[in-house]
């Protein structure tokens, strides 16, 4: 299924998305890799089912989750929610709501970093025998604009191809920050 790109354009949409518990819910759903009930999310996150349902409803309002199906469980109709096949743009290139967009971006990167730190502290996420399990790479690459465009297209294409769980896969969380560090400096021609 082709993923759709949605841009959060309003302050209301950004506020719905930036709520920390909603970010935890999205991460828990991504890790689960299958539709979940509010009760299942509540158990995973240590919150009440009514709170989970409220936050799922808000995430559905901005098109990030939706009802997948219902099942009868012990005589109760259980509603299962799934992540929708969307990529979220917080509109960093826009000139409005720059403070709010910056906060959202920082929170997203810091949440991924916190997950990495937690995995490393538990002894998983960094060393896994001969297989890659996690790393932090920093530095500079020197690119022409065409190379930067090509790199971005390769990364986003790879992410799009692998954004949905399939049999035999496991979720790897990522945060990638790549920007033109030379803009506005004397070396810029």
Q: Is residue 171 part of a domain?
A: no
76-83 and 65-73 beta bridge pairing: antiparallel
Instruction: Give 21's pLDDT tier (boundaries 50, 70, 90).
Output: very high
| CATH number of the CATH domain containing 28 | 1.10.10.10
Give residue 44's pLDDT: 95
Could you tell me if residue 189 is inside a domain?
Answer: no
pLDDT tens for residues 105-140?
999 999 889 888 888 887 755 555 667 778 888 899
pTM of the predicted structure, to 2 decimals: 0.80
| Predicted confidence (pLDDT) per residue in 137-187, tens digit | 889 999 999 999 999 999 988 988 888 888 999 888 899 888 888 866 544
CA distance 72 to 58: 24
Whose CA is closest to 27, among 70, 79, 65, 61? Answer: 65
Distance CA 111, CA 105 (A): 10
Q: Please report the pLDDT score of residue 128 as a whole number.
A: 56
**Mean local confidence (pLDDT), 13-31:** 94
The answer to whether residue 176 sits within a structural domain is no
Name the residue with higher pLDDT: 41 or 129.
41
What is the distance of C-alpha 4 from the center of its chain?
14
**Average pLDDT estimate for 10-30:** 94
Are the CB atoms for 151 and 143 separated by under 8 Å?
Answer: yes
Is position 67 within any domain?
A: yes
- Name the residue range of residue 34's domain: 4-161
pLDDT the model gives residue 124 = 59
**Strand partners of residue 66:** 82
- 49 within a domain of the structure (yes/no): yes
Partners of 6 in the β-ladder: 88
Given a contact cutoff of 8 angstroms between Cβ atoms, the answer to whether 176 and 156 are in contact is no
The number of domains in the chain is 1
pLDDT by residue (tens digit) across 47-57? 999 999 999 99
Whether 127 is in a domain gets the answer yes
- In tens, the pLDDT along 74-117 reads 999 999 999 999 989 998 888 999 999 999 999 999 988 988 88
Task: Please check whether residue 187 lies inside any domain of the structure.
Answer: no
Query: Does the structure show a pLDDT above 70 at 68?
Result: yes
Burial class (CB in 10 A: 0-12, 13-18, 19+), 68: middle
Q: What is the model's pLDDT at position 188?
A: 44
pLDDT of residue 27: 92
CA distance 25 to 30: 9
């Amino acid at each position: 299924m082709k993923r759709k790109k949605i841009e959060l354009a309003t302050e209301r949409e950004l506020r719905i998305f930036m709520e920390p518990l909603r970010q935890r819910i999205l991460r828990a759903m991504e890790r689960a890799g299958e539709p979940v009930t509010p009760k299942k999310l509540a158990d995973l996150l240590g919150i009440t089912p009514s709170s989970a349902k409220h936050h799922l409803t808000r995430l559905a309002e901005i098109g990030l989750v939706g009802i997948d199906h219902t099942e009868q469980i012990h005589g109760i109709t259980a509603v299962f929610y799934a992540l929708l096949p969307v990529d979220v743009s917080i509109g960093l290139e826009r000139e409005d709501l720059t403070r709010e967009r910056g906060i959202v971006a920082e929170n997203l990167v810091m949440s991924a970093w916190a997950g990495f730190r937690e995995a490393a502290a538990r002894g998983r996420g960094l060393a896994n025998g001969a297989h890659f399990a996690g790393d932090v790479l920093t530095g500079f690459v020197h690119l022409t604009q065409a190379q930067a465009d090509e790199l971005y297209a390769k990364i986003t294409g790879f992410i799009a191809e692998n954004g949905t769980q399939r049999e035999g896969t496991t979720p790897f969380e990522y945060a990638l920050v790549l920007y033109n560090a030379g803009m506005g400096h004397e070396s810029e021609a």
